[in-house]
Structure 1
Amino acid sequence: MSVYLDCNATTPMDSAVQSTILRFMAEEFGNSGSRTHEYGNRAKVAVQKARDQVAEAIGADRNEVIFTSGATESNNLAILGLAPFGERSGRRHIISTEIEHKAVLEPLENLQRLGFDVTLVAPEPGGYVNPDTLRLALRPDTLLVSVMHVNNETGVMQPLDEICSLLVDHPAYLHVDAAQGFGKATAQLRNRRIDLIGLTAHKIYGPKGVGALIARRRGFDRPPLAPLMFGGGQEHGMRPGTLPVPLIVGFGLAAELADKGAGRWHEKCLAYRSQMLRGLASLNPELNGDQGRVLPNTVSLSIPGLDSEAFMLATKGLIAVSNGSACTSQSYQPSHVLIAMGLGRDRVSSTVRLSWCHLTPPTDWDEVVAALKRVL
């Protein structure tokens, strides 16, 4: 069986998280909204504990955690949910970047159709956004600045601390898509200047189908979000519907485990990265992105003379990798991220992404290299 190297798409589930989810499916199956009996009360307590676990991991208050179906919904709620306030206040300018995930770019396209003015800032060649470029784009009517934490294709971290400092005296709301960085490089996300943060569980060894939007207060004021759905009033009226208690409990435990294990996991990922780069060195791989800014669990690379499809076919059965975001890889399109970084079409078409975690087993890189050399 091939070694799974697509952890930026989704991670394996932690065994403790899996056991907890199964218990809440089979035994503790109450509805957290049922207040007339002990089944509902136990479910409510479990959800509150999970809310506290997520809040603790990211440096938020429990009442700032809104559970959702994942980072895509969280990002949509943050971006589209601000639109009515922007229209009322006359602040209809939004700044984001050309390297965002589609879960951010497509909601922004929708707002453009509604008359909002969206500025997409180009990245530096290293795959990160220059804070000075953002500063020059700021206007008095800027409603929102949306910058991802870690790029899902290159693993490059964005300079969130500098961006937070830039916005100290500006009223614009700051939204961060933290799907890739939460649980791996969480320290930046604890900055209280970040108003809105999109999270998901399945990138931190938790279940698919659950995530959260962190909506931090400014003083006593919540971000002025309007809900996208109606009916039931759950999650402060921002996300109605019966809460998926097993998934939420699993997310809470995954967040706690990631918070406690981040340092140890970081070292394991660094060690795997070193072994991988040594193993592939004879192929002279070209690495994409500023390698001083990447997380230790991701490499975006190309092998000269070998396109990505040939790479994946040659290594099938040995390693499982991708050639782009999982959201668009069903019908391959050239990476908008790599194009925005200024890479040529040949380099883009030859790029593959390898992403791993602390659970990834050792890999026979000699065998991988031999398979690739047969098609070069």
Structure 2
Amino acid sequence: MATPASSSRRTHERPDEGRPIYLDYAATTPVDPRVAEEVMHFMLEEFGNAGSRTHSYGQAAKERVNRARAEVAAVVDAKPDEVIFTSGATESNNLAILGLAPHGEKSGKKHIVSTQIEHKAVLEPLAELERRGFEVDLVPPTRGGWVDADEVVARVRDDTLLVSVMAVNNETGVIQPTDEVAGALTAGGAYFHVDAAQAFGKLVGPLRNSRIDLVSMSGHKIGAPKGIGALIARRRRFSRPPLAPLMVGGGQERGLRPGTLPVPLVAGLGLASALAVEFGEERQTLLRDVRREFSSRLHGIGAQSNADESRAMPGILNVYVPGIDSEAAIVALKGVAAISNGSACTSQSYDSSHVLTAAGATTAEIEGALRFSFDETLSAKAMDAIVKRLRVMKTAPA
């Protein structure tokens, strides 16, 4: 399971520092050292403002931004000028959803179809639109954690403004049927938005479907720094999605996001995207082997999956071990592994998972849920250390 030198990344096993194994990649990935070097170059040397057109510093910055736009676009087979840089997927989701609202109000299309298992960065903007008088129709998932594409499409009406379905669920890793939904939507009908925070650079084919109008992504899920992401807004023939800006005060990003571009972060996102194109397939192949081995070890101590593993991305495992509470497990594993029991955006509140609840999970499954998310460098030694600690918990007297 060694990582090829060509695609090597910073390892999460650093025994020389005495730190736990990092297994929370769904929350954030470590910055790729090559990306960090690129970011520092544009912080310390090529530090110009991409909006400064009168000197070489600004021109160098602008050229790197343009190249990054092309690098991000290439991941989903879009055009460079369809890439809008944002602070991350949360902002992109807000711009896609709330940005369409004025067009919906003007056109009389105030119906939206989405799912019950979306990230809060989608569900909360949708709730805001409900407060403004929009009708939001949320499709429940199957027991395996995926929504049925036919049910999503069946809810689309003549007055539907938007369909929003995530590509990969952030808690369970289950791939959602965005390709099927896209294929069933009419050419000139509702806009289709996909939150691709967990899929961008990993799940290639479905995101390249040209019927997906809007794609949200975050750099820190693919080895880029936090604070940078993008919304890809594809044209329909010659028309861009009719988005209205959420902020005003400048003409940057085609008037949709005012403010000076963070060129170092944009450069980092561009390089991380290029690396995803170059090495993504190789990494996913390695990850499938890692997942198979880790899953086998966990099931060996009685762990059960909280999702349909045949439909899940290889880098996320959501399981529960009967008799073990997730909070107790996280504490017990604290010195061994850094893991979570759900979304990083909500896990601090210790609320029950809305994803597992919607999928019909039992109380025991929800309270025992452990999310292991990792990259291709996870070793058998690390797996054994985790399984050993969980086995001790399971056999310890109550």
Q: Paired residue for 1:198, among 213, 216, 226? A: 216
User: Equivalents in 2 of 1:162, 1:223: separation in Å?
Assistant: 21
Q: Which runs of 5+ in 2 are unaligned?
A: 1-18
| Structure 2 counterpart SS, 1:174 | strand
Amino acid at match of 2:56: E
Does structure 1 retain, via aligned residues, the 8 Å contact 2:200–2:217? Answer: yes
User: Equivalents in 2 of 1:368, 1:42: separation in Å?
Assistant: 48
Q: Paired residue for 2:270, among 252, 268, 278? A: 252
Q: Paired residue for 1:26, among 33, 44, 63? A: 44
Q: Paired residue for 1:344, among 352, 362, 387? A: 362
Q: Paired residue for 1:79, among 88, 94, 97? A: 97
Over aligned residues, Cα RMSD in angstroms?
A: 1.1
1:182 positional shift: 0.5
Amino acid at match of 2:368: S
| Structure 2 counterpart SS, 1:353 | strand
Q: Which runs of 4+ in 1 moved over 6 A?
A: none
Q: Paired residue for 2:127, among 102, 106, 109? A: 109
Does structure 1 retain, via aligned residues, the 8 Å contact 2:167–2:199? Answer: yes
Higher mean C-alpha deviation, range 141-150 or range 308-317: 308-317
Q: Paired residue for 1:273, among 270, 291, 295? A: 291
User: Equivalents in 2 of 1:244, 1:360: separation in Å?
Assistant: 33
Q: TM-score, normalised by structure 1?
A: 0.98
User: Equivalents in 1 of 2:22, 2:261: separation in Å?
Assistant: 31
User: Equivalents in 2 of 1:42, 1:366: separation in Å?
Assistant: 49
**Per-residue Cα deviation, 1:233-268 (whole angstroms, up to 9, x for no partner):** 000000010000000000000001001111110122
Aligned residues: 376
Q: Paired residue for 1:140, among 152, 158, 174? A: 158
User: Equivalents in 1 of 2:357, 2:330: separation in Å?
Assistant: 21
In the alignment, structure 1 residue 234 sits paired with structure 2 residue 252: yes
1:361 positional shift: 4.6
Counterpart in the other structure of 1:44: 62
User: Equivalents in 1 of 2:245, 2:382: separation in Å?
Assistant: 50
Amino acid at match of 2:46: E
**Per-residue Cα deviation, 1:328-351 (whole angstroms, up to 9, x for no partner):** 111111000000000011210100
1:292 positional shift: 1.3
Counterpart in the other structure of 1:159: 177
Counterpart in the other structure of 2:116: 98
Higher mean C-alpha deviation, range 21-30 or range 313-322: 313-322
Does structure 1 retain, via aligned residues, the 8 Å contact 2:84–2:233? Answer: yes
| Structure 2 counterpart SS, 1:223 | coil
Identity of aligned pairs, percent? 54
| Structure 2 counterpart SS, 1:292 | helix
**Per-residue Cα deviation, 1:102-125 (whole angstroms, up to 9, x for no partner):** 000000000000000000010111
In the alignment, structure 1 residue 176 sits paired with structure 2 residue 194: yes
Does structure 1 retain, via aligned residues, the 8 Å contact 2:295–2:317? Answer: no
In the alignment, structure 1 residue 7 sits paired with structure 2 residue 25: yes
User: Equivalents in 2 of 1:75, 1:332: separation in Å?
Assistant: 24
Counterpart in the other structure of 1:56: 74
Does structure 2 retain, via aligned residues, the 8 Å contact 1:3–1:361? Answer: no
Counterpart in the other structure of 1:187: 205
1:279 positional shift: 2.4
User: Equivalents in 1 of 2:176, 2:361: separation in Å?
Assistant: 19
1:291 positional shift: 1.3
**Per-residue Cα deviation, 1:170-199 (whole angstroms, up to 9, x for no partner):** 510000000000111121111110000101
Q: TM-score, normalised by structure 2?
A: 0.93
In the alignment, structure 1 residue 313 sits paired with structure 2 residue 331: yes
Amino acid at match of 1:137: R
User: Equivalents in 1 of 2:146, 2:101: separation in Å?
Assistant: 27
